Structure 1
């Protein structure tokens, strides 16, 4: 773990340098002063921990900037918020920014957390007769459209020589998907933590497949392009705090879980399991990660889930890919 964290900090230095270069560029042009930063977050993840700790709010307050935290139920909705300007910064899994970019959203990838393939899975009810992916033929599988698990479903089917046409896909956000799952209205659910861990512990859900050996499941930090280019100092402060927080979470997982108990309403054990499956670190977008993200985008285009091919590299923050 120590060697990884050291490597993470080294890469973080590269990211800070990249943002510093944006500062020099932004100084060459007149820009409107930012006094409020709207950050999009979900109930679970690194950003809500940043919110609960309060250090980012304090750091930016000293610079005359207020932070407004805007909650979203999932990544696709958060990216829509980024697109319409209700937030300037946020995090999501792999798929939402691809759908957003295909819809001409002016976003940029700022950084990512390491792979966390065990943090998402295809699950079935505890009494289900489904024992393998092959048993899913003709079954109703629920997921949040355009989320990270959308790609997981494609890879699970591909690995078992099945196609989307072999199943019935039902699109619902996590809360509605869980209700449908509990009532038996669907046969399987493709979902991420902490909903995944909650279904395991509270419903006795059986795991048919996780993302292990199939997908990376990166968490990405994204910003509105105009905001990123005009406010590099603010962006640097945010990334600094993300890095400080991920190092703290890695060393204090139980305490981090307790921070999220009240805002999520989830049992401590569910949060502990979820955090243990998280990827620790915040690094610039590497060439390898950019290529992996391009594979996801290409797969979505081939399945006609997005209307046009996109170039991931074109959406990466200038000078951040190393």
Structure 2
């Protein structure tokens, strides 16, 4: 799967984003899953593809829309490579990998939030009498480094008066983690909602999640654009954001809840696990997919970059304020008459 993602990113043609350059292809990268013999996109990306509006609008301008699938095994690091090589123009992915990219000199802009946070879980293997992080001191913990869930885990370690050196960190990707837990190769793992599936299968038990932490600890994902492309092609960026806002409005409708859960489960997790993860979060359904830049968004990214720098997870200061580009969502909400559809009081969880 990693090889597939690498080949696709190597072969996809980003526009380059130079001033006055004719754009022939607009490329969006995101996590995809194998399902019924093909790669499928879940979440808002899948809705944008299904609705077909963005593809139609770009086709009128002679531009081909390409969605590039990236496997969960490589995720953010591969997307960062695509941004760096100007092979992709946009990507919806996690907060921490994006901060790493910007700290490494890749200019990005958040052009739209794509949700209000996702929970991170710590799962201890079956047979291990652990009830808290402190019980894992000296134990082997599976943690895929450089991925969004590393940050909340680091915050938990710090708030518990511990250090990463207190654990034996095993850097493996999530797809290999269940087997490692079952065999006893690791004692615990840091996962997203797949942690609930590990628990359901009896391989381990959840001992902590970000539901029990400050709201700002949740993993966030946004729609990021290459800053040079966004600045050179604001009209195309607007079309992309319009499409994601349309998709967010559809997904936020309670009438579509069952279908949203069904689509989110394709190739990834059982529907029951997806529904349980959504229910665990405590985020109201309509707010879950809100594209609104409420104050929690900026506060979250300030927290991400400050904490990552303080802990040596990135080596260069990132200006979180400069990441935010609200103009496209503001216009989309106005043009689509959705200005009152989502709460604007900043009360969403970040």
Give the alignment's TM-score, normalised by structure 1.
0.80
Q: How many residues align?
A: 291
Q: Distance in 2 between matches of 1:89 and 1:227?
A: 9
Q: Does residue 1:38 correspond to 2:27, yes or no? A: yes
Match of 1:57 in 2: 55
Q: Does residue 1:280 correspond to 2:289, yes or no? A: yes
Query: Does structure 2 retain, via aligned residues, the 8 Å contact 1:253–1:275?
Result: no
Structure 2 vs 1, CA of residues 297 and 52 (structure 1 numbering), >3 Å: closer, same or farther? same
Structure 2 vs 1, CA of residues 318 and 241 (structure 1 numbering), >3 Å: closer, same or farther? closer
Q: Distance in 2 between matches of 1:224 and 1:288?
A: 23
With a CA cutoff of 8 Å and minimum separation of 6, indicate the structure with the bigger relative contact order: 1
Q: Distance in 2 between matches of 1:178 and 1:81?
A: 29
Match of 1:210 in 2: 209
Q: Does residue 1:227 correspond to 2:235, yes or no? A: no
Give the alignment's TM-score, normalised by structure 2.
0.75
Structure 2 vs 1, CA of residues 59 and 137 (structure 1 numbering), >3 Å: closer, same or farther? same
Query: Does structure 2 retain, via aligned residues, the 8 Å contact 1:41–1:91?
Result: yes
Runs of 5+ in structure 1 lacking a partner?
Answer: 1-25
Structure 2 vs 1, CA of residues 202 and 81 (structure 1 numbering), >3 Å: closer, same or farther? farther
Q: Distance in 2 between matches of 1:106 and 1:79?
A: 11
Deviation at 1:222, TM superposition (A): 0.5
Q: Distance in 2 between matches of 1:145 and 1:197?
A: 20
Runs of 5+ in structure 2 lacking a partner?
Answer: 1-16, 33-41, 331-350
Q: Distance in 1 between matches of 2:154 and 2:110?
A: 23
Over aligned residues, Cα RMSD in angstroms? 2.6
